[in-house]
């Protein structure tokens, strides 16, 4: 397992992403929703890995929209979108915005754009179970 670190722009939120994969083996995507497009997000999950977001409670903003099942994590100081987490079957799963990782330049600058319009909650959770990873938010 290799540990990759990162943070929001001002450093108030620290990120620790662990994966058995090398960066060139990781698949990054872009969601076509207006939130992700406005933030220029490139996100990734690795079910064999994990992600931890750590910061003071006052610095970790949580935003929900759409189906209202996911916390999109933003720094309340600098506004950086660092990742997302959701509760599913008694555990937390999530993704990391690779733009917030120290190795961000390793990844494809324009990965494929994915459209998830029309997904109901059941289909969204099923898709995320396949691609998202264990996530911890420590505030």
Band (pLDDT 50/70/90 cuts) for residue 73 is very high
Q: How far apart are CA 31 and CA 43, in angstroms?
A: 8
Which structure tokens are listed for 123?
């289909």
Band (pLDDT 50/70/90 cuts) for residue 2 is very high
Domain map of the chain by residue range? 2-138
Q: What is the rounded radius of gyration, in angstroms, for the C-alpha atoms of the chain?
A: 14
What confidence score (pLDDT) does residue 122 get? 97
Q: How far apart are CA 33 and CA 71, in angstroms?
A: 15
Q: Count of CB atoms within 10 A of residue 13's CB?
A: 28
Q: What is the pLDDT of residues 77-110, one digit of tens each?
A: 999 999 999 999 999 999 999 999 999 999 999 9
Q: What is the pLDDT of residues 6-43, one digit of tens each?
A: 999 999 999 999 999 999 899 999 999 999 999 999 99
| Partner residues linked to 52 by β-bridges | 16, 136
Q: Which helix (H) or strand (E) holds 119?
A: none
CATH code given to domain 2-138 = 2.170.150.70
What confidence score (pLDDT) does residue 107 get? 93
DSSP SS3 for 40: coil
Q: What is the mean pLDDT of the segment spanning 59-87?
A: 98
Global pTM? 0.95
Please, which residues have CB within 8 angstroms of residue 32's CB and are 6 or more apart in sequence? Answer: 113, 114, 115, 116, 117
């Amino acid at each position: 397992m290799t540990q990759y670190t990162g943070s929001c722009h001002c450093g108030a939120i620290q990120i620790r992403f662990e994966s058995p994969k090398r960066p060139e083996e990781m698949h990054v995507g872009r969601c076509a929703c207006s939130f992700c497009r406005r933030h220029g997000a490139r996100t990734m999950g690795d079910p064999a890995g994990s992600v931890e977001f750590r910061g003071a409670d006052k610095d970790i903003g949580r935003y929900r929209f759409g189906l209202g099942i996911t916390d999109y994590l933003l720094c309340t100081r600098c506004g950086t979108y660092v990742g997302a987490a959701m509760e599913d079957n008694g555990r937390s799963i999530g993704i990391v915005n690779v733009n917030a990782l120290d190795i961000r330049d390793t990844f494809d600058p324009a990965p494929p754009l994915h459209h998830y319009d029309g997904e109901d909650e059941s289909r969204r959770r099923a898709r995320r179970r396949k691609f998202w990873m264990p996530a911890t938010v420590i505030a």
